[in-house]
């Protein structure tokens, strides 16, 4: 016998699903009851596809019918919730979203909110942190008490693999919201993360938790140390596997490289990373959703909220840093398919990249303390640009530092700048140490997963603290079948060449560090780089040439000549060659540039002189510091030939050396300046 509450909820579920025979999972009804009737705080840990959205849509309808204000839903990815919004409309839940992409609709949305015509407002955590939004829209929107939903709630925990500072702010706001119904959802949380969320949100949190392990997912692991062989394996698999999928890489560069490779061997593949325009990202997501492309090669930026129930495969080109991060990504495969593939390829470079991420997760104590004390001495907010002049850090590192300090309450954003808050602060060494230790443990667990002999799904389930996970019967270890193939040597050779040929462009800088435009007649033309420093392909040869032999090999001269004459062919072509001198290894670059000039039949002229020793640019971490380091270090020795010039350097990092020397060359009367470097040092930055 169903009670009145249950009948009401069930009616809504059936309207929502469009299925007159639909029934609740037991936990769904329990969660709805706790939110609506008891106004409790609920943490719902259930696998993707379990039906968490049904809980908050139905709870919203029922609360609204009981005179509550609109539901506020915070989710990191809103662009893809369109399907859910449509579903909500079937049970007369009116959903709207406010994000940076629909600014034009804000006024209308606001009006609807004022007229109480909205039942659920979907919003990103970043939007919630926006000052204008908070001052102008927030009061009307959420002035009335109602349900609060925090999607992907594991982002609150800094033990989680995906901690987001904006979520920490939300958890602090929740501190001021006793007695308001709250639903936190996640599909990836183990005991430790749940405990951390509970600690932050208070003990009143009711945890409703189901098994996270997935059925129907065939987990495989292949250790293939060499990138060329991994590319070969991918080409082979993608020519055979049906359906669409995602390939995850650890770095942006790898995502681009893999996508280019697959495209070159005839598979439609599109790269995807966080730095892309949101329009491009949405377009790629939509193309994959509608099966317009076979595979997206992505970094972890393709993450939460991406929901394609019929994804046939998720392949990892490199191993992520933790089993939970791995589970979250591989779990996207085949949620509504009977069978799908989750293949982890493990390569030689995995550990280095993971180490880099662990190492760079927290700013060094000294740097944090320096920034705080510098800000403390200024009463006015300090813009980012000024901070760069104070401290020698890379842009990404500074962003990371500022976010961390904001989370800890040491600083706050005001307008375009940052200011010290009035809260006391000390660098939290314990937090850094314990989180770092946790990351190391996870790294070990990942290795354990790769080397495991038992059921892989059961092992993942145990990392997620599932109770009594069962063997899946379909992973490589359960079935004894492996996806190992023989590598076709011809394809491997092509892959090696592909890896060597990822020449990169040098985009000319357009502004001096003070944001003043570089005049056109002093700027560089677009240039080229042969390789990535130390990378497979030519990068290894560049490194050994510089560090071991003290001379760049003939192979590199030939490769550079081939790149310049066969693939680059700048127009109008350079008529002479010069190089950037170094005081540290005096003849290295001149010697190479002269040989290169000879091989492309141009005269070599030594016109650039280094008049002051500099620090190595790689130790200068941002534009201001890099520019300051080199701006007075070079002089031009006339006479300077008039025509366009090829300006050769061994390693390009910030481009400031090339920009400064190029500007002086042009000032001295040279024609267009085409920069060329053997290697891009930016291999240090990984994403």
**Positions in the binding site for other proteins (CB under 8 A):** 39, 67, 69, 72, 128, 134, 138-139, 142-146, 148, 169, 172-180, 202, 204, 376, 378-380, 409, 412, 420-424
Quote the least distance from Cβ 178 to other proteins, whole Å: 5
**Residue nearer to other proteins on the CB measure, 69 or 545:** 69
Task: Report which secondary-structure segment, H or E, holds 297.
Answer: strand 295-298
Quote the least distance from Cβ 506 to other proteins, whole Å: 42
Quote the least distance from Cβ 113 to other proteins, whole Å: 12
Quote the least distance from Cβ 134 to other proteins, whole Å: 6
Q: How far is CA 224 from CA 66, 319, 349, 353, 512, in A?
A: 59, 11, 11, 16, 44
**Residue nearer to other proteins on the CB measure, 95 or 529:** 95
**Residue nearer to other proteins on the CB measure, 145 or 553:** 145
Q: Which 3-state string (H, E, C) describes 68-97?
A: CCCEEEECCCCHHHHHHHHHHHCCCCCEEE
Quote the least distance from Cβ 175 to other proteins, whole Å: 5
- Token readout for 115 is 């007229």
Q: How far is CA 629 from CA 25, 614, 623, 663, in A?
A: 64, 6, 10, 16
**Residue nearer to other proteins on the CB measure, 18 or 179:** 179
Residues 250-289 as b or e (16 or more Cβ within 10 Å = b) = bbbbbbbbbbbbbeebebebbbbbeeeeeeebeebbeebb
**Residue nearer to other proteins on the CB measure, 420 or 494:** 420
**Residue nearer to other proteins on the CB measure, 117 or 484:** 117
Quote the least distance from Cβ 415 to other proteins, whole Å: 12
**Residue nearer to other proteins on the CB measure, 133 or 512:** 133
Q: DSSP states of 338-400 as a string? A: S-EEEEEEE-TTHHHHHHHHHHHSS--HHHHHHHHHHHHT-SS-EEHHHHHHHS---HHHHHH
Quote the least distance from Cβ 79 to other proteins, whole Å: 24
**Residue nearer to other proteins on the CB measure, 39 or 90:** 39
**Residue nearer to other proteins on the CB measure, 69 or 334:** 69
Quote the least distance from Cβ 122 to other proteins, whole Å: 15
Distance CA 335, CA 49 (A): 7
Distance CA 213, CA 130 (A): 37
Please name the residues in contact with 72: beta carbons below 8 A apart, sequence gap of 6 or more.
Answer: 120, 121, 123, 141, 142, 146, 147, 148, 149
- Backbone phi and psi for residue 195, each to the nearest 5 degrees, phi listed first: -65, -40
**Residue nearer to other proteins on the CB measure, 406 or 503:** 406
Helix (H, G, I), strand (E, B) or coil at 582: coil
Tokens 């929901």 sit on residue: 307
Quote the least distance from Cβ 136 to other proteins, whole Å: 11
Strand partners of residue 614: none
Distance CA 332, CA 59 (A): 26
CB–CB of 189/47 below 8 Å?
no
Quote the least distance from Cβ 132 to other proteins, whole Å: 13
Residues 313-337 as b or e (16 or more Cβ within 10 Å = b) = bbbbbbbbbbbbbbbbbbbbbbbeb
Distance CA 221, CA 344 (A): 5
Distance CA 478, CA 455 (A): 6
Q: DSSP states of 301-328 as a string? A: TS-TT---TT--EEEESS--S-HHHHHH
Strand partners of residue 578: 647
**Residue nearer to other proteins on the CB measure, 5 or 425:** 425
Quote the least distance from Cβ 142 to other proteins, whole Å: 4
Please name the residues in contact with 256: beta carbons below 8 A apart, sequence gap of 6 or more.
Answer: 271, 297, 502
**Residue nearer to other proteins on the CB measure, 204 or 292:** 204
Distance CA 47, CA 438 (A): 23
**Residue nearer to other proteins on the CB measure, 194 or 593:** 194
CB–CB of 99/50 below 8 Å?
no
Quote the least distance from Cβ 519 to other proteins, whole Å: 39
**Residue nearer to other proteins on the CB measure, 141 or 502:** 141
C-beta neighbour count of 523 within 10 angstroms: 17
Quote the least distance from Cβ 189 to other proteins, whole Å: 21
Please name the residues in contact with 174: beta carbons below 8 A apart, sequence gap of 6 or more.
Answer: 148, 182, 201, 202
Quote the least distance from Cβ 35 to other proteins, whole Å: 13
């Amino acid at each position: 016998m169903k009670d009145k509450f249950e009948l009401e909820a069930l009616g809504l579920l059936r309207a929502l699903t469009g299925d007159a025979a639909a029934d609740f999972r037991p936990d769904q009804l329990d969660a709805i009851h706790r939110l609506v009737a008891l106004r409790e705080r609920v943490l719902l840990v259930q696998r993707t596809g379990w039906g968490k959205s049904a809980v908050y849509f139905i709870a919203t309808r029922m609360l609204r019918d009981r005179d509550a204000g609109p539901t506020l839903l915070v989710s990191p990815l809103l662009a893809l919730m369109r399907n859910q919004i449509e579903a909500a409309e079937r049970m007369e839940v009116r959903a709207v979203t406010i994000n940076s992409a629909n600014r034009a609709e804000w006024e209308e949305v606001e009006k609807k909110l004022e007229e109480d015509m909205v039942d659920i407002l979907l919003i990103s955590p970043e939007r919630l942190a926006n000052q204008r939004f908070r001052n102008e829209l927030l009061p009307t929107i959420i002035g009335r008490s109602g349900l609060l939903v925090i999607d992907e709630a594991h982002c609150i925990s800094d033990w989680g693999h995906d901690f987001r500072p904006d979520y920490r702010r939300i958890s602090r706001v929740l501190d001021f919201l006793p007695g308001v119904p709250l639903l936190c959802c996640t599909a990836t949380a183990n005991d430790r993360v749940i405990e951390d969320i509970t600690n932050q949100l208070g003990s009143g949190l009711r945890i409703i938790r189901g098994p996270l392990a997935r059925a129907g997912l065939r987990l495989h692991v292949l250790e293939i140390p060499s990138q060329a062989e991994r590319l070969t394996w991918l080409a082979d698999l993608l020519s055979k596997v049906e359906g669409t999928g995602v390939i995850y890489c650890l770095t942006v560069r790898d995502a681009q490289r893999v996508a280019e490779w697959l495209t070159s061997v005839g598979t439609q593949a599109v790269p995807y990373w966080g730095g892309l325009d949101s329009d491009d990202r949405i377009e790629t997501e939509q193309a994959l959703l509608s099966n317009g492309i076979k595979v997206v090669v992505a970094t972890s930026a393709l993450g939460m909220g991406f929901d394609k129930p019929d994804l046939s495969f998720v392949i990892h080109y490199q191993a992520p840093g933790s089993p939970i991060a791995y589970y979250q990504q591989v779990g996207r495969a085949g949620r509504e398919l009977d069978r799908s593939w989750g293949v982890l390829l493990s390569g030689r470079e995995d550990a280095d990249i993971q180490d880099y991420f662990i190492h760079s997760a927290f700013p060094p104590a000294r740097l944090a303390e320096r920034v705080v004390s510098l800000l403390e001495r200024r009463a006015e907010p300090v813009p980012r640009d000024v901070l760069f002049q104070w401290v020698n850090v890379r842009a990404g590192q500074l962003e990371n530092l500022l976010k961390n300090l904001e989370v800890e309450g040491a600083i706050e954003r005001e307008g375009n700048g940052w200011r010290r808050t009035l809260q006391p602060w000390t660098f939290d060494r314990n937090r850094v140490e314990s989180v770092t230790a946790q990351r190391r443990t996870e790294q070990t667990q990942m290795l354990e997963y790769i080397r495991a002999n038992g059921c892989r799904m059961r092992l993942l389930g145990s990392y997620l603290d599932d109770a009594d996970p069962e063997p899946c019967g379909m992973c490589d270890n359960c079935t004894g079948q492996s996806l190992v193939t023989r590598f076709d040597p011809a394809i491997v050779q092509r892959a090696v060449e592909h890896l060597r040929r990822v020449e990169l462009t040098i985009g000319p800088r357009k502004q001096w560090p003070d944001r003043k435009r570089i005049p056109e007649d002093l700027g560089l033309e677009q240039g080229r780089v042969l390789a990535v420093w130390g990378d497979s392909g030519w990068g290894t040869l560049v490194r050994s040439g510089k560090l071991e032999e003290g001379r760049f090999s003939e192979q590199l001269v030939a490769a550079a000549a081939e790149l310049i004459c066969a693939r680059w062919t700048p127009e109008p072509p350079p008529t002479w060659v010069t190089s950037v001198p170094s005081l540290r290894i005096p003849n290295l670059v001149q010697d190479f540039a002269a040989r290169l000039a000879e091989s492309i039949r141009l005269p070599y002229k030594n016109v650039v002189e280094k008049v002051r020793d500099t620090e190595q640019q790689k130790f200068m971490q941002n534009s201001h510091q890099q520019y300051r380091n080199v701006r007075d270090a070079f002089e031009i020795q006339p006479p300077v030939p008039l025509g366009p010039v090829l300006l050769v350097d061994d390693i390009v990092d910030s481009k400031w050396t090339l920009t400064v020397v190029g500007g002086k060359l042009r000032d001295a009367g040279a024609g267009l300046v085409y920069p060329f470097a053997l290697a891009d040092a930016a291999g240090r930055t990984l994403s």
